Amino acid sequence: MKNTDILVVGGSAAGVTAAISARRYYPNASITLVRKEKDVLIPCGIPYIIGTIGSPDKNLIPDAVLSKNNVDFIIDEVISIDKAAKTVKTSSGNSLTYKKLILATGSSPFIPPIPGINLPNVFTIKKDTEYLRGLLKALDQSENVVIIGGGFIGLEFGDECKKRGILNVTIIELLPHCLLLACDEEICILIENKLKESGINVLADNKVKLVGGKKRLEYVELENGEILKADVVILGIGAVPNVELAAAAGLATNKEKGVYVDEFMRTTDEDIFAAGDCTQKRCFFTGRPALLRLASIGTMEARVASANLFGLRLKSECPIGVFGTVIGDLAIGSAGMTERSAKQAGFDVFSGEFETPDKHPASMPNTKNLKVKLIFEKNSRVLLGGQAYGSMTAAKVANFIGALVQKRMRVDEIVAFQMGSHPMLTPSPIANHIANAAEIALAKIW
């Protein structure tokens, strides 16, 4: 039986971050991480193994990030937790005891109850290198790929399939537009047009009726009766938290929402913490349950959990959701609420938009326009969210917007906020995206 001060279960983004952070806070503690996978994929990089980098082996979290932080890691699967004895058992028959435990068991792809969904060549987004090699092999023998789900990962897979040379790529989205949960309609339309320019067929406001074929995958049928040829189907429609281990141990869980944690990332056992996709989330703005599952949120939660293991030091904020992606040469970033989602939640909103080159003067090499939209709540004048799109600086701008949202800054405070500039790195200080979008919004209610 192995004894350890801190045991981390799970080796993806949240688990690795939890172990590294624990080492920083507790330099003399023994830390052990247990994971099922021999190789750990970078979650957000999975779509790019198809076209941009070409192989799962080029998209791995190196073991060195653990070893250089003096973290022991074991490739095994934890199958049970004895809270009273502070012991876990693994599938290989080993036992480990702990003083503090962090669950980072992640999530699994959601598989909808569509007839035929279990046919060969229907793939999910598994974090498994061998499985993904099978996907690449199938793609290389295919002309027709159908992607079910028009969120970020679905669009990224579509874009990458085209880069790999797939002849016919179709994206099917249930909502009226792709990315509608993260972007306002005008931006969604730009993204869809960019996909269409590259030859991708976008079928929004459509639902899959069945996945068909006699002995193998042959087609996808939509509820409107349309039939699409399909050699490969990729499911990109979300994830469900892995709560089975926590539930079996008697911790409070919800099958759809995740493991219960408080603001310190503690579960219902004071010596067991949890972080990442396996945990329950609540919306930053409304307090209602949220389905956000992002590596950026999981790593934040992991840092909070590790800091609090032997004494409560940090509180985690409810996530706001900060997104970014690139389709073709169009980069987008989004943080917090869209105008659409804010209105649906009952907020009275006003907004401001501003577009300008991302360097100054505009004659600088590689200059491209970037447009920013900021959304505010009318009574408090507090920033609810924003989007940036155009140049490759979009995600960085979205991160900045996200920081302003988390600090609940008002429109007048943002107008007066000091920001630096440099000709090769930023817009002109006269034409700062954030300040000008905020000022245009403020003028509407002045």
For residue range 372-389, what is the model confidence (pLDDT) as tens digits? 999 999 999 999 999 999
| pLDDT confidence of residue 216 | 87
Closest CA to 112 of 101, 122, 120: 122
Average pLDDT over residues 270-292: 94
Nearest to 249 by CA among 48, 27, 98: 98
How confident is the model over 34-55, as a mean pLDDT?
95
State residue 57's pLDDT score. Answer: 94
- In 3D space, the residue among 122, 198, 115, 186 whose CA is nearest the CA of residue 155 turns out to be 198
Q: What is the pLDDT of residues 222-237, one digit of tens each?
A: 999 999 999 999 999 9
| Closest by CA position to 219, among listed 280, 144, 158, 305 | 144
Report how far residue 29's alpha carbon sits from residue 51's, in angstroms, rounded to the nearest whole number. Answer: 42
Percent of the chain with pLDDT over 90: 96
85-133, pLDDT tens digit by residue?
A: 999 999 999 999 999 999 999 999 999 999 999 999 999 999 999 999 9
Q: Is the pLDDT of residue 1 over 80?
A: no
Is the distance from CB of 106 to CB of 14 less than 8 angstroms?
Answer: yes
Residue position matching structure tokens 């040469």: 329
pLDDT at 69: 96
Number of H helices, E strands in the chain: 11, 26
Q: pTM for this one?
A: 0.94
The DSSP H or E segment spanning 102 is strand 95-103
Residue 319's φ and ψ, nearest 5 degrees, are: -70, 145
Who wins on pLDDT, 216 or 194? 194
- Dump pLDDT digits (tens) for 417-446: 999 999 999 999 999 999 999 999 999 998
Q: What is the mean pLDDT of the chain?
A: 96
pLDDT band with cut points at 50, 70 and 90 for residue 215: confident
Q: Which two tokens stand for residue 161?
A: 């399939």
What's the rounded mean pLDDT across residues 58-86?
A: 96
Q: How much is the average pLDDT of 130-157?
A: 96
Taking residues 252-281, report their average pLDDT: 96
Q: What is the pLDDT of residue 113?
A: 94
pLDDT of residue 176 exceeding 90, the answer is yes
Per-residue pLDDT at 283: 93
Residue 214, pLDDT score: 86
Provide the pLDDT for residue 259: 98
Confidence of residue 402 (pLDDT cuts 50, 70, 90): very high
Determine the pLDDT at residue 239: 94
Nearest to 342 by CA among 372, 309, 386: 386
- Look at phi and psi of residue 199 and say left if phi exceeds 0, alpha if psi is from -120 to 50, else beta: left
Alpha-carbon distance of 260 to 278, in angstroms, equals 9
How many angstroms separate the most distant Cα atoms in the chain?
A: 69
Question: What's the pLDDT at 181?
Answer: 94
Mean pLDDT of 57-71: 96
Q: Which domains are assigned to the chain?
A: 2-36+43-107+240-307 (3.50.50.60), 111-235 (3.50.50.60), 322-441 (3.30.390.30)
Q: If pLDDT is split at 50, 70 and 90, which confidence band does 291 have?
A: confident
The mean per-residue pLDDT over the stretch 205-211 comes to 97
According to DSSP, residue 318 is labeled P
Two structure tokens written together for 127: 């974090």
Instruction: Report the pLDDT value the prediction gives residue 371, as an integer from 0 to 100.
Output: 98
> What token pair was written down for 204?
């929004």
Using CA atoms, how far apart are residues 327 and 331, in angstroms rounded to an integer?
Answer: 6
